[in-house]
Structure 1
Amino acid sequence: MAILEIKKAGDPVLKQVAVPVERLTKWHRQLLDDMAETMYAANGVGLAAPQVGRSLRIVVIDVEDANGLIELVNPIITMRDGSEVGSEGCLSVPQVYGDVERAARVTVEYTDRRSRRRTLTAEGLLARCIQHECDHLDGRLFIDIAVSLRKEEAKE
């Protein structure tokens, strides 16, 4: 496994619409492993492939709940319900946080690392994270849709 470089706001890959994965290969599974390792090393709760310079529709999420690590390949949000505003940050936009309106509950369909189709319904932080990471796959950053932004200094 390897820790990958996280691209920062301004990098063109973060504004591209990511390409679907046609067929999961050993290379893609290694990318999933490397993305998870990178996310954990950066103390993040989600990471999308464009954030590590790969314009692919791949996401890893771990909000430290009963689901553990979730790997989403070609995720599609099929249901959005309710609305809530919450604070978000992003590994690609260090030290910037903002309030973003998101659906309170979502259902996402995706392929797992074993090429099986899955469906997951989520609420709370997991729902917010799924929406945030899926935005990355469409070339959108949270700072593009935040209702307010604030800068915070790095904590020691």
Structure 2
Amino acid sequence: MILPIVAYGDPVLRKKGEDIKKDHPELDVLIENMFETMYHAYGVGLAAPQIGLPLRLFVIDASPFAEDEDLSETDRKTLEGFKKVFINPQILEETGEEWAFNEGCLSIPDIREDVYRNPVIRLEYYDENFNRFEETFEGLAARVIQHEYDHIEGILFTDKLSGLKKRLLKGKLANISKGKVKVDYKMKFPAAKKARG
């Protein structure tokens, strides 16, 4: 089922996600719905807060990046078939010299900005079957994970921009929360005027 994506300004995007228990009701259905919602919106990652659930869960399918000619051969190989579920993840370590990449977000449509992040992360997480993993991710895979991880920590990519950039985007962000933005996927806008009946 395709779910509406929560837009910038909704308080759920600022909440720190809660851990998911093994017996979480219909977790498999939730994960399936998240993938379907993400694909429908042409995203490569989606975190539970973006569908209104303050949970430590996100899904990623970064395989569309594998066709990007501008990426290194290593990045393209890593991202080929890179489809994963991350439950209760914890970043254990972020290393390397920060690098910029132009990021966007399904909750903040029509805004893309360069964000600096570390190129290497070590992550502990559970998959959809509650198998525990500790893995190191690099390059674009690490970046997509860091972006989604921020969501479950109540952080948005716009928080990482300079003060000047934030001020320049203020009006655009306000319009997004009011629903004054053109999107071709289902969204829920926190400050949209309710129709009077």
Instruction: Give the TM-score, by structure 2 length.
Output: 0.72
Matching of residue 127 in structure 1 with residue 142 in structure 2: yes
Which protein has the bigger helix share?
2
Aligned partner of residue 26 in structure 2, secondary structure: helix
User: Which residue does 1:40 correspond to in 2?
Assistant: 39
Q: Which has the larger radius of gyration?
A: 2
Q: Bigger CA drift: 69-78 or 26-35? A: 26-35
1:72 matched to 2:71? The reply is no
Deviation digits for residues 63-100 of structure 1 (CA, Å, limit 9, x no counterpart): 10234311000011112111111110000000001111
Secondary structure of the structure 2 residue equivalent to 1:35? helix
Q: Spell out the pairing of 1:87-98 with structure 2 (5 A cutoff).
A: 87-98=102-113
Structure with more of its chain in strand, by fraction: 1
Q: Distance in 2 between matches of 1:81 and 1:154?
A: 38
CA contact (8 A) 2:109 2:183 kept: no
Which residue pairs with 1:81 in the alignment?
Answer: 95
Which structure 2 segments of 5+ residues have no match? 64-78, 173-180, 185-197
CA distance, structure 2, for counterparts of residue 72 and residue 121 of structure 1: 14
Partner of residue 13, structure 1 = 12
Distance 2:11 2:143 in 1: 24
Contact 1:24 1:115 in 2 (8 A): no
Q: Which residue number in structure 2 is paired with residue 137 of structure 1?
A: 152
Unpaired segments of 5 or more residues in structure 1?
none
Percent identity over paired residues: 41
Normalising by structure 1, we get a TM-score of 0.90
Question: 1:122: Cα distance to partner?
Answer: 1.3
- Do the aligned partners of residues 29 and 155 (structure 1) sit closer, same or farther apart at CA in structure 2, a change above 3 Å counting? closer
Structure 1 Cα separation of the partners of residues 154 and 101 of structure 2: 21
* Amino acid corresponding to residue 101 of structure 1 in structure 2: Y
Q: Is the 8 A contact 1:24 1:113 kept in 2?
A: no
**What is the match of residue 50 of structure 1?**
49
